[in-house]
Chain A
Amino acid sequence: MRKILIIEDEPEIRTILAMAVENDGTFEAVTAGDGPEGLRIAQSERPDVILMDVFMPGMDGYEVCRRVKSDPALQHIPVVLLSAQIEHKTQEKTREAGACACLGKPFDPMQLADRIRGIIDEAASA
């Protein structure tokens, strides 16, 4: 089973994300409520993939992603972002931060695990 770290400041959405990705048995979720906690858990748990919100108080998702990508111990971990505001520059900022993709909110919870699998498989083969 692959380990997925979910970093999301909204507790309700964190719960739904964890249930959605664990639903088909491929992922086991560990969660964090903000960027700094997410970075600590990433160090201790070494997840296979990180799924995180972009807009979080304090440290936003782009910044957390940049820190993951600049850490030699974590930089191999694929990062998928989630945002309620997909705008013109979102894809550019996503690429610049080093993330694989940015998914929009709201999302279809029954297809989320599939989408993340597709994104990380594509990133691995690239």
Chain B
Amino acid sequence: MTMIDPNYSQPTIERSMFEAVIANIGIGVMVCDSDGRIILANGSAVRILDTRSDRVLAASMFDIIPSPQSAELRAAFRHLSRTRCDDNAFHERTFSIGKRTVKCATYPIFSTDDRMSQAVIVLQDITHETEIAQAKTEFTWMVAHELRTPLTALNGSIGLILGDAAGETNERTRSLISIAQASCDRLIRLLDDMLDVAQAEAGALRLRLHVVSLDGCLIRALESLKQQADEKHIRLVTRTTGDVPSVVADPDRIEQVIVNLVSNAIKYSPPQSSVTALLKRVRGRAQIRIMDEGPSVPDADRERIFEKFYRGKDIDSPERSHGLGLAISKAIVEQHGGRIYVRRRRLGGSTFVVDLPIPGEDELLRSAG
């Protein structure tokens, strides 16, 4: 939200301030009309697009952005122009423009009749960040490989002893070796999760995209958690409201997100309570909501719980966790072009919301083919 001191709130002063801010920020900003004709572009946008300022104004945005990215932007523009006034409507993609990696976000401006009249395009040159992330991913892969070798030896030795391949073991030895195995399993899971996070942060998480029915993902995820819920006497409930359309997604990854969220909900819920998974279509997007009856996530932690290894001060974790599940879930959802967030429930508990875009018919046909 922009705040202006009322003493300075006069049209000419506001305009000068606005122009100075737009001209001097390091982020590229362009404004287009509903046909994509550029009506404003700052210096950073011209620099990021590697063009000249006299070529930008009045040109079509789809001619300025190189193909094939421009075709995708045109489709996103078409989709936004059909959207009615909605605070959540936006399109974000990372493109390569020449040697630059550019994050391009398009936000519609709605006129009084709820139709898109203009759009603001925000361009961020993230080349340097992408290179660092790439180097970090390569380093993590190398470390993970180096750690996997001793872990394979450890896991293999423990497995052979517990399987009596080296002769029978007494009860006390078995109990100690079982502790070693549980710790070894934990390390392997941690390593797998670290790799997932590193890949996702670098935008290198490989997604095998298909047309996916979300209720199928939900059913499979909940089945795998039935035992965990039963042990804590927690009822798992699924609800679908209306027709939830198919999405284009990696079903294994979406299932992984649901498992993370429901498993957390079970951990933090009191015994004899319910965890509800709801599928819903909201403003042209598909939503998965996981609702629990445990303590609500404090306001101060709502954003930060999706950070790696973050543990809120006021969040009591009843069971040990390494704090990567939500970070992985966020990365997976964002790589699908979606959003994940948490809300406080009115009568106590939290609702985690996964909001995914619903593809157009063209995209559905392409993904099905």
Contact = CB atoms under 8 A, between A and B. Distances in A.
Interface in B125-164: 141, 144-145, 148-149, 151-153, 155-157, 159-160, 162-163
A106 B151 contact: yes
Interface stretch (A36-44, A69-77, A81-89): A81-89
Given A19-B160, A55-B145, A87-B206, A106 B152 contact: yes
Closest 5 CB pairs of A and B: A16-B156, A84-B148, A110-B163, A106-B155, A109-B159
B20 interface: no
A108 B184 CA distance: 12
Interface of A: 10, 12-13, 16-17, 19-20, 23, 55, 84-85, 87-88, 105-110
Interface of B: 141, 144-145, 148-149, 151-153, 155-157, 159-160, 162-163, 165-166, 188, 206
Given A84-B145, A85-B141, A87-B206, A110 B160 contact: yes
A105 B188 CA distance: 10
Contacts of B188: 106
A87 B156 CA distance: 22
A20 B152 contact: no
B145 A109 contact: no
Contacts of A110: 159-160, 162-163, 165
B152 A23 contact: no
Given A19-B166, A85-B148, A106-B148, 6 more contacts: A10-B149, A13-B156, A16-B157, A105-B149, A106-B152, A110-B162
A67 B157 CA distance: 32
B270 to A, nearest CB: 35
Q: Interface residues of A: mostly helix, strand, loop or mixed?
A: loop
A16 B162 CA distance: 13
A88 B206 contact: yes
Nearest to B154: A106
16 contacts: A10-B153, A13-B153, A17-B156, A20-B159, A20-B160, A23-B165, A84-B145, A84-B152, A85-B145, A85-B148, A105-B149, A106-B151, A106-B188, A109-B156, A110-B159, A110-B160
A101 B363 CA distance: 33
Nearest to A109: B159
A70 to B, nearest CB: 28
A61 to B, nearest CB: 14
A105 B152 contact: yes
B152 A107 contact: yes
Nearest to A11: B153
A26 B288 CA distance: 49
Contacts of A17: 156
B163 A109 contact: yes
Contacts of A106: 148, 151-152, 155-156, 188
A20 B156 contact: yes
A80 B162 CA distance: 25
Contact of A13 (B149, B159, B160): B149
A82 to B, nearest CB: 9
Contact of A84 (B149, B157, B165, B166): B149
Contacts of B141: 85
A110 B153 CA distance: 14
Contacts of A85: 141, 144-145, 148
Nearest to A9: B149
Given A105-B148, A106-B188, A23 B160 contact: yes
Nearest to A22: B165
Nearest to A108: B159
Contacts of A19: 160, 165-166
A65 to B, nearest CB: 20
B328 to A, nearest CB: 17
